[in-house]
Amino acid sequence: MKSLTLQAPAKINVFLKVKNKRKDGFHNIKTIFQRINLSDTLEFTLTKTGRIRLTSTLPTLPLGSKNLVYQAAEQLRLMYGVKNGIDIHIDKKIPVAAGLAGGSTNAATTLIGLNKIWQLGISKHTMIEHARRLGSDVPFFLEHCSWAMGTARGDQIEPLDIGSRFWHILVVPRKKITSGQVYQGLNLQLTKSVDNANILIQHLKNKDLRNIGRYILNDLESAIVQIAPSLQRLKERIKLLSGSGVMISGSGPAVFGLAKNQKDAEQFKSVLSRYYKRVYAIKTL
């Protein structure tokens, strides 16, 4: 196999509860991931240069060691003594640093792609260990499931048999927010002690939008809104349109709102596109 093209889908978190801070500086969390149909495309081409070379449609994307795709490829190249090189082209559609795990899904897709194109024969268990070294969200994208529960740092993944598919409106304002900033500003004493993840899962299975809106949760929201108060106004604007649940995904700044169907999601997109450039009607993948 000399070339391979793979899709790298984004995620949103419909539930994110922060439990406590760990000794390693990370936080123990419980989160529910939803895979969505907003995707990057990665093209892999085998070379004999022995080098890793990245290109992208996004001019501002780092193409060296700061990119998780590069880190994933370098990790496999060194660990398995790969002599061949690889050219990886990233057709970027997922907004960067938005709470949608664009870098993480690219890294996971790189692990999958290079396992095939370099013919490494890596087991799923070992692949997950590689993914954990790259980032907390990366293991989710190795599961090929629509829904999953993430625990520990979010990297212990349990696929969920929810079955339901949903449409959402998604808005990504041009706000620079890092997860480090968000967690630094988090006050764990203000987060709710009640864990309603299982209740939310049941409502997701039943496609009960009203109660899904009541039980979606992101413990990071208060810290995010302190950094970017305009996100609260965006939430309120989406809430007026959808009349249902609205929440920031992950550490933001992406904000999503529930929609009854594709028609509603597209209508919300038409309205919000007057005010924001990056607006998407998305669905569960």
Task: Let me know whether 155 and 274 are in one domain.
Answer: no
Predicted local distance difference test score (pLDDT) of residue 139: 98
What letter would DSSP give residue 140?
G
How far is Cα 155 from Cα 135, in angstroms, rounded to an integer?
A: 8
Residue 188 pLDDT more than 90?
Answer: no
Task: Let me know whether 11 and 123 are in one domain.
Answer: yes
Predicted local distance difference test score (pLDDT) of residue 186: 87
Tens-digit pLDDT profile for residues 137-148: 999 999 999 999
What mean pLDDT is predicted for residues 255-266?
Answer: 97
Share above pLDDT 70 across residues of the chain, in percent, rounded to a whole number: 99
Predicted local distance difference test score (pLDDT) of residue 273: 97
Q: 30, 40, 92, 137: which is the annotated catalytic residue?
A: 137
Predicted local distance difference test score (pLDDT) of residue 185: 87
Last residue of a domain, one of 159, 184, 210: 159
Residue 193 pLDDT more than 80?
Answer: no
Domain with residue 55: its CATH number is 3.30.230.10
Residue with tokens 């740092």: 153
Task: Let me know whether 140 and 187 are in one domain.
Answer: no
137 is an active site residue: yes
Task: Let me know whether 178 and 108 are in one domain.
Answer: no
Total count of domains within the chain: 2
Residue 192 pLDDT more than 80?
Answer: no
CA dihedral 273, 275, 278, 280 (to 10 degrees): -40
Last residue of a domain, one of 114, 134, 159: 159
CB 154 within 8 A of CB 161: no
Task: Let me know whether 254 and 272 are in one domain.
Answer: yes
Task: Let me know whether 119 and 214 are in one domain.
Answer: no
Residues spanned by the domain of 181: 167-283
Task: Let me know whether 205 and 116 are in one domain.
Answer: no
Q: 11, 30, 92, 235: which is the annotated catalytic residue?
A: 11
Residue 1 pLDDT more than 90?
Answer: no
Query: Mean pLDDT lowest for which of 42-46, 104-108, 240-244, 257-261?
Result: 240-244
Task: Let me know whether 177 and 137 are in one domain.
Answer: no
Last residue of a domain, one of 159, 191, 215: 159
11 is an active site residue: yes
SS3 191: coil
Task: Let me know whether 155 and 176 are in one domain.
Answer: no
